[in-house]
Structure 1
Amino acid sequence: MKLAGLQATQWLLLLLATAAQGKSPHPLVNKSTPEMITYNGYSVEVHPVTTEDGYILSLHRIPHGIKDPKTSRQPRPPVLLQHCLLCSSAEFVMNDPDKALAYMLADAGYDVWMGNVRGNTYSKNHVSLSPRKKEFWQFSWGQMAYYDLPATIDYVLKVTQVEELYYVGFSMGTTIFWAMMSDRPEYNHKVRFMVGMGPVAYVSHAKGPLARVASKVRTIETVMKFFGRYEFLSFGFLMDQILSFGCDHRVFTSAMCRNLLFQITGSNKKQLNKEFLPVMLTHTPAGTSVFTVTHYLQEIQSGNFQKYDYGEEMNLQRYNSRSPPMYDLSKVTVPVALFSSNNDWLAAPEDVERLALELPNVVYHKIVEDPMFTHLDFVWAKDADELVYKDVLRILAAH
């Protein structure tokens, strides 16, 4: 532990020294999602959405593309993009416009909406609770599934005045979709078609740091409560500034940023977009609750797709059962297309196959051809447009 702490300290000092040199970072560094969209010449809107339990979410919209201008009379079907764990709407615009999924969809004639779940950079407001208090952070992705996603879908449908939308989820964006449909199956009628990239329900075959600490999940929960830590991995302005310079591909410390990233998600140097690395790392991690992370750790341990396990006593109060209920994937009746990869540490091939077998309406499943394609490559890879997004657009157009 001392050695690891020393290495972390040395890494931070190197980044500080690099930042002090004053090298100019990528022009999108430290720009918000709306600012990045505007920078690239697209129209953008910000919409607040209030959930049933009082969380105020920020929804980002690209109403039309550059190639499909506002004056076009063609109907623009709405598509909702939902991000991964510790991510935000920024994941879908952190690349050149001809390669980022949100811009590609907008230019293909879609009305693009990007969600932000409770607790991330853009959704830290509540009608009565302060994010400085522990009460704000008493949620996991189960609450995102039950409250955030239905509120977001209903809002998009109300604004666009249509009866159904397309849905594209990445990682946790797929988890909360499956869980929502299990708890609120009526939402199957509000989604025309669902695309799941790096789809996650079961995680018993996950690799990497999360898998290694999963057996200590109860200890982690106890320690975090003891120290009063309920928010997880939200970088502030100072760290963003350090990362923006220290992770720039033109400076030597960028290699440390890449190595740290590979330790978490797996290595695919060929697909790493070095130019955008400081942009990515100043937006990710975007923060969440401790319970959101420990919910996944519990599932790695149990091998189940289930609600949060509060312990036998609290489970009896919440669920009238000593163990948490399972989510029912058979209730996801909307047609689904899955995109997975064999080198995905978090959506492992065995777990995706189990998911695909239990979903009743999988109409398409593509395993990305690149054998080294990692989990974050679905939103960060240089060639994600060729390997994934063009097929996503083709599948959506066919439905």
Structure 2
Amino acid sequence: FWGYPSEEYDVVTEDGYILQLNRIPHGRANARCQGARPVALLQHGLLAEGSTWLTSLANSSLGFILADAGYDIWIGNSRGNSWSRRHLALSPKQEEFWAFSFDEMAKYDLPAMISFIEEKTGQKQLYFIGHSQGTTIGFIAFSTMPQLAQKIKMFLALSPVTTVIFTQSPFRKLAFFSDYRLKEMFGTREFLPHTTVGQLLLSRVCICSKVCKSILAMIFGFNWKNTNMNAVPIFASLRSRRAANPLAWCIICCIPATSPVCESPFPSPQVGPPLYDVKDMEVPTAIWSVGLDCVADPRDIALLLP
């Protein structure tokens, strides 16, 4: 793609999910550079997939930019999206396949991918770059698994989501519904499955930029001065290919917390969702906040700062 080398691998998690892991081992102009390259793992956000890091032009897609800068790029795909819909024993048609949340993505998906990369490259540490849900699973994994945290040279969190006290997205309204009602509304399997009609509809709707702007701005928040409107129909059609467990949306419905913790919406042996305290996470971390983000509100992100 765009003249870059590409490799594809299957990674099996401890609980049997088969994840697709993609690699760009080098850029277009630095293939002959000798020595080990620094490794970077890019992890997508909610309702997304690894291709989000590569869907723009080569000079404006982070995956390609980092490859040209000399990094060995690995791109993860969380369970349930278009490229990670396989399991050793379950089918996506079975309800059991979708019985997961970002909690399992943190406990099983991320460790499996990092271990695979370590084995393949021989490098003991890597840079982890996450966006939205990608940061959530990073904070959970690195705060609860110290041995995994030691393998992270730096955690770069783009629009991190750990609390949703101030979120302005309409999805905040889901907090008023019970688990039973949410299951009735969205089901217990995949959410927004890929269909040809859906892909066509989204790409057509976004040709009308005013309609597309209004919808996307209301749900996610956008700085349209930094958005290539000619590419929006492409982004929209790709988004319709992504699937997720509908209850993963409950990340938006977390009970407001007064300290930076993540709350899992899924049942556990304890009373209420498990809490993940990220204050003592011993990983060098850099955070990026977007002022108009309706989900990762800058005031929520500020709670992560010392």
TM-score (norm 1): 0.72
2:206 is the alignment partner of 1:247: yes
2:89 is the alignment partner of 1:134: no
Do 2:141 and 2:149's aligned partners in 1 also have CA atoms closer than 8 Å? no
Between stretches 121-130 and 336-345, larger displacement belongs to 336-345
1:342 is aligned to 291
Counterpart among 226, 229, 233 of residue 271 in structure 1:
226
2:18 is aligned to 56
1:154 is aligned to 115
Structure 2 CA distance, aligned partners of 1:68 and 1:55? 34
2:72 is aligned to 111
2:300 is the alignment partner of 1:356: no
Number of residue equivalences: 304
Do 1:140 and 1:293's aligned partners in 2 also have CA atoms closer than 8 Å? no
Structure 2 CA distance, aligned partners of 1:352 and 1:244? 32
| Structure 1 residues 230 and 62: alpha-carbon distance in aligned structure 2, compared to 1, 3 A threshold | same
The Cα RMSD (Å) is 1.9
1:259-338 alignment runs, 5 A limit? 259-285=214-240, 286-294=242-250, 296-300=251-255, 305-310=261-266, 318-319=268-269, 321-338=270-287
Unaligned runs of 5+ in 2: none
| Paired letter, 1:182 | S
1:388 is aligned to none
1:173 is aligned to 134
Hey, which bits of structure 1, 4+ residues long, moved more than 4 A? Answer: 300-304
| Structure 1 residues 279 and 348: alpha-carbon distance in aligned structure 2, compared to 1, 3 A threshold | same
- Deviation of 1:162 (Å): 0.9
Structure 2 SS opposite 1:112: strand
Do 2:248 and 2:265's aligned partners in 1 also have CA atoms closer than 8 Å? no
2:182 is aligned to 221
Structure 2 CA distance, aligned partners of 1:190 and 1:266? 33
Percent of aligned pairs sharing the same letter:
35
Do 1:217 and 1:298's aligned partners in 2 also have CA atoms closer than 8 Å? no
2:193 is aligned to 234
- Deviation of 1:214 (Å): 2.1
CA offset digits 1:3-35 (Å, max 9, x no partner):
xxxxxxxxxxxxxxxxxxxxxxxxxxxxxxxxx
Structure 2 CA distance, aligned partners of 1:234 and 1:303? 35
- Deviation of 1:119 (Å): 0.4
- Deviation of 1:203 (Å): 1.1
CA offset digits 1:58-117 (Å, max 9, x no partner):
111111101212x22142111000011001111111211111111100000000011000
TM-score (norm 2): 0.93
Structure 2 CA distance, aligned partners of 1:323 and 1:245? 43
| Paired letter, 1:104 | I
Structure 2 CA distance, aligned partners of 1:259 and 1:330? 36
Structure 2 SS opposite 1:205: coil
Do 1:86 and 1:120's aligned partners in 2 also have CA atoms closer than 8 Å? yes
| Paired letter, 2:244 | T
Structure 2 SS opposite 1:114: strand
| Structure 1 residues 222 and 121: alpha-carbon distance in aligned structure 2, compared to 1, 3 A threshold | closer
Structure 1 SS opposite 2:274: coil
| Paired letter, 2:28 | I
1:29 is aligned to none
Do 2:98 and 2:188's aligned partners in 1 also have CA atoms closer than 8 Å? no
Structure 2 CA distance, aligned partners of 1:163 and 1:302? 35
